[in-house]
Amino acid sequence: MNPLFSSLKRWLLLIYTIFATIITVIYIMFNSTFYKLDLVKYNNDIDYHNKMSSILSKGLLQLNGNFAQLDSFLLIFVYVLGILICFISLLLNWNTYNKRTYTPLISMLGFCLPLTVHNGENILWMVLLGLIIAFVGSIFYIFAIGKTYN
């Protein structure tokens, strides 16, 4: 087996978790930098609401001003792809007993958390918690399979 492919199977989950974290941080930076949305004024002033809704619906990341749920196609795609990568990592280690590990399920839980749980008025806490769980799960995955792919 190709050593590069073996190393990629071991490190893919951690690399993708770092990639998902970078994409999420860039998304949050765009959200807070380019679209300074005053939520109180957005909810109370109908003219401001209409103006910001027209701007946000045509924005770079399709922000809609609702921070209670995850509506961005970009972030939903990143987290669904993370779930698929976790599932593939689980299947790659299912063939033999000495490589079998359930640790990709921890990362899968981390990627599922922002998509399923809506805690109160700000989804960013669920995104942060989900990324921390996914990162910890990917670290455990690397330790669990050890030098199997070396």
- Put simply, whether the predicted model's pTM sits higher than 0.95 gets the answer no
- Residues 69-90 have pLDDT tens digits of 677 788 889 999 999 999 988 8
93 phi and psi, to 5 degrees?
A: -105, 15
Contact 120, 126 (CB under 8 A): no
Residue 133 above 90 pLDDT? Answer: yes
Higher pLDDT, 35 or 143: 143
Q: What is the pLDDT of residue 22?
A: 94
